[in-house]
Structure 1
Amino acid sequence: MKPMLPTLTFAQPVQKDWLFEVKYDGFRAILDWDSNGIELTSRNGKSLLPQFPEIEDFLLQHENEFKPFLPLRLDGELVSLENPYKANFSAIQIRGRLKAAKKIEEQAKNSPCRLMIFDLLVQNGKPMYSLEFLKRKEELSKLFKKTGLELNADPYNKQLLQPVMAYEDFNEIWEKVVLYDGEGIVAKQASSIWEEGKRSLQWLKYKNWKYVSCFVTSYDKTNGYFYLGVYKDDSIYGVGQVLFGFKPDEKQALGQILKQNMVKEDTQFIYVEPAICLEVKYLELYENQLREPHFDHFRFDLAPEDCTYDKFIFQQKNLPEDLEITHPDKPLWDKFNIRKADYILYLREISPYMLPFLKNRLLTVIRFPHGMFGEAFYQKNCPDYAPDFVHTHTADDIDYILCNNLKTLIWLGNQLAIEFHVPFQTTVSKGPSEIVFDLDPPSQDEFHLAIKAALLIKEVLDQLNLIGFIKTSGNKGLQIYLPLPEDEFSYDDTRLFTSFIADYLISKDPDSFTIERMKKKRGNRLYVDYVQHGEGKTIVAPYSMRGNEHGGVATPLFWEEVDEKLDPRMFTLDYALERIRQFGDPFKSYFQTKSIQPYAPVLEVLKQNSQKKG
């Protein structure tokens, strides 16, 4: 059957009684499951199961759970899920072109695709097309709950059938789509019915366009496309072509100007020198070409020399509008090819994972205005020249920056704030939001001591059923986090546990660990600084870079990585990004853990023991 289709809109579809879903970029697919078996059909009627056998395998593994609801028909998108709000279009295109059965089987096992379900059309053989969209959505949620499947979109969950949830607040979902660089959203009227094969005005797709400032290089007489370029060094770098988005008079005028100023012509093309600049919107760069390009407007304020490859890359990453990145070519490290542009792009890509740990925290940054080639300085007070979008919070007569959004993060990056340090509580919490152990060996040569301490602490946490997360410090140590529910514990409460752990480590290995505060008395032992976890103290935020010679990043780890092979110097800017792309974020369940962390019974025992000692 032909699926119902949304209509493209360029205006924000914010209307009363509409709901909003993430738009995933993949293959539209309708799933049919009845007594004859499972079928997954593409928009043009082609069976997708031979190409994506992992979907059928997953469903058959859960056949008993689904059996009470058959015959079943679901509407969705088959995707290579990159993050909860974005699918990788390039990856599924490559997957869809595979021919060899062995290669398909290998990809299905190692990089399985997911079927994102956004509509329920038939259940128990009963058609649901005429039900209102809101009702169908409610029934879809019930189906997932009754079959024991989770309701969250998650690229690292082995659940290959995942629901697309609906949001009532456009701004809430749009902020996440932009932050995670998703394709866009689909707005749906709550009362709309499902109409086969119809491109409906009751479903509207609103895309997360990127923009490129470019110039015209040629005109294809055979199909009407205008070819586009930017300057990379002194050469023209082609970025694709555009046909749509012009008003008839705009297209006619542009074509006429090109003919009048051509430098060369052949049977297919009219060629011109770079002169006319355009703003073109597009979804992403796919195989070095703009995908879904649309002309936006002429840029008479630009010269061709203003249209550069570096600016194109910044625009491609969807950096905040009207935020100028100054001196993008400035080198920051002498031993690594890390320019300011590379650092800004790192912050952009890591922002979905870093910002939650900065939100509503009094921020202290260490700025390196000359990179690693000059002096650095701490900054707590928000400077007078900070733009209006930078929010602040005053505490102890200091006007601290709150880095609560992408724009502030990138602005700080442009100020060459390299290190981000935050306290253990937020501006809206009364006590600590987490317990953190900072395991800092005397030098990198003694990093094995941090590993030993971390594994001993992990043993204790496991015995107490406590949930811990671990990261590198970005320098020479490791840091263990225990997320806590908000406003439930005091620093005195957490001090009992940090002190207990310190005593435990020293009792296990007094030659390796110490609580001696004077450096000259520590020897080569690891200092267990349980006093550091207190009000007003700070710790480097997850995914913050460090201003050291190896360009370290405070990188979240999986516990199974913590062994003698671990080398803190390997966690650099490039490696931190590579890890998260390949394996996901080890801290992804951090904030959900707060509500289930069983610290209260542990604290009760510690208090009883403390009273006995007293």
Structure 2
Amino acid sequence: MQPMMPTLSFHIPEGEQWLYEPKYDGFRTILQADEDRISLMSRNGNDLSPSFPEIKHFIERHIEKWRPFFPLVLDGELVMLKTAFSADVASLKRKWKRKSDETTEAYQLLVFDILLLQGEDITKKPLSSRKELLSSVFQQLGLPLHVSPENPVPIQMIQAYHQFSQLWEKIVQHEGEGVVCKHMLSTYENKKRTSQWLKIKNFKEALFFVTGFDSNNGYIHISVHHKGAIVQAGVFSHGMPDNQKQALLEIIKKKGKKENHLYTIEPAICMKVRFLSIDSGSLREPSFHSFALEHNWTDCTFLQLKMAEANVKDVAVTHIEKPLWPKYDIQKQDFLLYLLEISDYMLPFLKDRPLTVIRYPHGLLGEAFFQKNCPDYAPEFIQTKTIDGIHYIICNDKKTLMWLGNQLAIEFHIPFNTWKEKQPAEIVFDLDPPSKNEFHLAIYAANKLKECLDRFEIASFPKLSGNKGIQVHIPIGTNIFSYEETRRFTSFFANYLAEQHPNEFTIERLKKKRGSRLYIDFLQHAEGKTIISPYSVRGVENGTVAAPLHWNEVNEQLDAESFTMDYCINRVKSGICPMKHYFSIDQHEKIKAIVEHLL
């Protein structure tokens, strides 16, 4: 069986007879399961099970639940979720090419249709009936009825919406691929591309300049520039009216250079091009939108392209070539690109937390200052909350993050609670050695603290401070513990470690009395205090990052200086995010038992 395919449309169908589903960027997959075989078939008829065996293994582990529905055929999308409305197809492709299940990255089969149930072909039933059957099967199997990247179950159901605008807002916010509109009376037609299913794609738009034309295939080559270098962005052939294309080709042939079948031309002609996303450095599904002759080719920066890809609009960025870390040739545009790339991993820690930033308006060589109050000139989209007379910025989205980045807010410091609660949502131990030369003490202290926490089965997450120490985060849930209760917790462990290792650790606040010992700062965990956010850059000489770590990385080989912006981006792109599931951990009962024992 091969899947039914939707037709691309730029018109949104509306009415009570239409349903709307998120469109995910992954591999279209047909799940076939019976007594003899469980397989995952791609739209081209390839078995995906060897590369993604967990789906099959999951069914086999629960075979007694599944068997009553055999033979069963489900239609869906195999993905690696980024959010509930977007997926990471690049990581999925890397996983598929490896042909093994060695990766720790989770993948999911998101199901939206049922084609065969207990051997009965139900493709001729209307979509509304198939949806009811699918929901019933999922409920009986105990499978999730909506998509969540935090849910460890690898088979989940895609939720349908009755209003396009409600879903589209989420798709844009989460940089999803688009929406599939389905008529409720549509039957399932094998191998057919149908107008009963329409796909509305979340196209972006950016500025490019023309760099060439291939006379063999008719493709126009477009580029952007970054730090003095031309960056090839891709090629396109669709969308441009014939008369405009003819005029463009005449200019290219007249002013360009030809080598074999390829014409090249110096940057000058600007245009707006629509695209779906960027994959391995090239635009996906690019098409011409319009010429942008009012722009100079220097406006076609790599930064504006990446901002367009992230749907960050109406944020003016200025002086992007300003040197921030001159010794390492790190400019303002490099820092802004880092914030864009890391935003999916950093924003969950900033969400709803009153923000304190340290700004470096003249780069790391100039003076810095703390900022708590939102400035009067902030644009309207900046959200604030007033606490004790201070108008704190609430950074819940990429737009706000990029505006702060343009203000050269380098360091992001957050309290332990959100503005909605007065109770802390986490406990953090700050392990502070006398200097970078004693970083080995932070490694030693972190591991000793972990040994203590492990005895109580408390999950903990180490993080570089980005400067000279290590911080250990412990999720505790919201609206459960007071700061007084968490103080008892932190005081107990800090005092215990200092007593057990008096020559290495201390809880003495006065620096002159610490000597060469590491300071276990448990008093910093208090109402009104802040800690550096995970993934925030620090205003230090080489711009290192407060990077989350896996515990097996906290050893004598750990080099804090290597955790630069570029290195951290490469880590998350390769699937390394040690705090990815931080907010889904529930251990408040274990912590409650310790706190009550300390009364």
* 8 Å CA contact 1:75, 1:118 repeated in 2: yes
1:123 to 101, 117, 124: 117
Q: How does 1:461-472 map to 2 (within 5 A)?
A: 461-472=453-464
Counterpart in the other structure of 1:4? 4
Distance 2:304 2:231 in 1: 13
Give the aligned residue type for 2:116.
Answer: V
Instruction: Judge conservation of contact 1:151–1:162 (CA < 8 Å) in 2.
Output: no
Indicate whether 1:30 and 2:30 are aligned.
yes
Find the counterpart in structure 1 of residue 276 from structure 2: 283
Unaligned runs of 5+ in 1: 99-103, 608-614
> How many angstroms apart in 2 are the aligned matches of 1:208 and 1:309?
20
Identical-pair percentage: 46
Question: 2:532 aligned with 1:533, yes or no?
Answer: no
In the TM superposition, 1:221-232 aligns within 5 A as: 225-230=219-224
Q: For residue 324 of structure 1, report the CA deviation from its aligned partner.
A: 2.3
Deviation at 1:592, TM superposition (A): 1.9
Instruction: Return 442-451 or 222-231, whichever deviates more.
Output: 222-231
Provide the alpha-carbon RMSD of the alignment: 3.7
1:284-299 aligned at under 5 Å gives the runs 284-286=277-279, 289-299=282-292
- The change in CA–CA distance for 1:427 and 1:271 in structure 2 (over 3 A counts) is closer
- 2:398 is the alignment partner of 1:399: no
Deviates further, 217-226 or 500-509: 217-226
Cα-to-partner distance string for 1:61-83 (whole Å, 9 max, x where unaligned):
54735433321212123456677
- The 3 A distance-change label for structure 1 pair 509 and 11 is farther
8 Å CA contact retained: 1:351, 1:406 = yes
1:406-443 CA distance string (max 9 Å, x none):
10001101111110011111111032222221111212
Gaps of 5+ in 2: none
Cα distance per residue 1:185-232 (max 9 Å; x no partner) = 434456654333343444332323232322445556666544434456
Kept after mapping to 1: 8 A contact 2:426/2:473: yes
User: Is the alpha carbon distance of 1:328 and 1:583 closer, same or farther for their aligned partners in structure 2, counting shifts above 3 Å?
Assistant: same
Match of 1:435 in 2: 427
Match of 2:499 in 1: 507
Residue 327 of structure 1, CA deviation: 1.9
1:564 Cα offset (Å) = 3.0
1:310-325 equivalent positions in 2, closer than 5 A: 311-315=304-308, 317-318=309-310, 320-325=312-317
Change (3 A) 1:245 1:452: same
Is the CA contact 1:68–1:124 (under 8 Å) kept in the aligned structure 2?
yes
Q: Secondary structure at the match of 1:196?
A: coil
> Which position in structure 1 is the counterpart of 2:557?
565
- Which residue is equivalent to 1:612? none
Provide the rounded CA distance (Å) in 1 between the counterparts of 2:218 and 2:444: 67
1:77 and 2:71 correspond: no
Report the equivalent of 2:322. 330
Residue 546 of structure 2 is matched in structure 1 by 554
Trace 1:148-547 onto structure 2 (pairs within 5 A): 161-166=154-159, 168=161, 177-178=171-172, 181-189=175-183, 192-216=186-210, 225-230=219-224, 238-246=232-240, 250-256=241-247, 258-259=249-250, 262-263=253-254, 276-286=269-279, 289-309=282-302, 311-315=304-308, 317-318=309-310, 320-547=312-539
**TM-score (structure 2 length as normaliser):** 0.86
- Counterparts in 2 of 1:383 and 1:12: CA distance versus 1, 3 Å: farther
CA contact (8 A) 1:38 1:56 kept: no
What number of residue pairs does the alignment pair up? Answer: 594
Superposed displacement of residue 362, structure 1: 1.2
- Secondary structure (helix, strand or coil) at the match of 1:471 reads strand
Q: Amino acid of the residue matched to residue 259 of structure 1?
A: E
Please state how far the C-alpha of 1:524 moved relative to its aligned partner.
1.4
How far apart, CA to CA, are the structure 2 residues paired with 1:533 and 1:238? 48
CA contact (8 A) 1:319 1:348 kept: no
Distance of 2:551 and 2:264 partners within structure 1: 58
Distance (Å, rounded) in 2 between the aligned partners of 1:514 and 1:51: 53
- Tell me if the contact between 2:364 and 2:539 (Cα under 8 Å) persists in the aligned partners: yes
- SS at the partner of 1:332? strand
State the alpha-carbon separation in 1 of the partners of residues 343 and 228 from structure 2. 33
8 Å Cα contact 2:35/2:67 also seen in 1? no
Structure 2 residue identity aligned to 1:279: K
1:24-54 CA distances to partner (integer Å, 9 max, x unpaired)?
334423232334534444334x333597474
> Per-residue deviation at 1:364?
0.6
Q: Is the 8 A contact 1:167 1:173 kept in 2?
A: no
**Matches of 2:560 and 2:101 in 1, distance apart?**
34
Are 2:584 and 1:599 aligned?
Answer: no
SS of the counterpart of 1:545?
Answer: coil
What is the deviation of 1:139? 5.1
* Aligned amino acid, residue 486 of structure 2: T
Shift of 1:562: 2.4
| Residues 1:477 and 1:280: Cα distance change in structure 2 (over 3 Å) | same
Q: Is the 8 A contact 2:146 2:159 kept in 1?
A: no
Which stretch shows the higher mean deviation, 263-272 or 301-310?
263-272
Q: Tell me the distance in 1 between the aligned counterparts of 2:264 and 2:562.
A: 49
- The one-character-per-residue Cα deviations of 1:492-518 (angstroms, maximum 9, x if unpaired) are 111111221122112212222222221
Distance 2:420 2:493 in 1: 28
Letter in 2 for 1:47: N
Q: CA deviation at 1:522?
A: 1.3
Cα pair 2:9 2:198 within 8 Å, conserved: yes
Shift of 1:386: 0.8
Q: Residue 42 and residue 406 in structure 1: after superposition, are their counterparts in 2 closer, same or farther (change >3 A)?
A: same
Alignment deviations for residues 240-292 of structure 1 (CA, whole Å, 9 cap, x no partner): 3323234xxx3324424643784179896787776543211112344654321
Q: How far apart are 1:542 and its partner, in Å?
A: 1.1
Counterpart position of 2:68: 68
- Would the aligned equivalents of 2:145 and 2:159 in 1 still touch at CA under 8 Å? no
TM-superposed CA distance for 1:85, in Å, is 5.2
- The 2-side partners of 1:218 and 1:536 are apart by 57
Whole-angstrom distance in 2 between the partners of 1:272 and 1:334: 33
Provide the C-alpha distance between the structure 1 equivalents of 2:169 and 2:467, rounded to a whole number of angstroms: 33
Report the alpha carbon displacement of residue 377 of structure 1 after superposing the two structures with TM: 0.8
> Taking structure 1 as reference, are residues 265 and 424 closer, same or farther at Cα in structure 2, changes over 3 Å only?
closer
Which residue identity is paired with 1:71?
Answer: P
Contact residue 466 and residue 597 of structure 1 kept, 8 A: no
Separation in 2, partners of 1:34, 1:6: 28
CA distance in 2, matches of 1:453, 1:270: 62
Instruction: Specify whether residues 370 and 251 from structure 1 end up closer, same or farther in structure 2 by C-alpha distance, changes over 3 A only.
Output: same
Larger mean Cα displacement after TM superposition, 21-30 or 327-336? 21-30
State the Cα distance separating 1:346 from its structure 2 match. Answer: 1.2
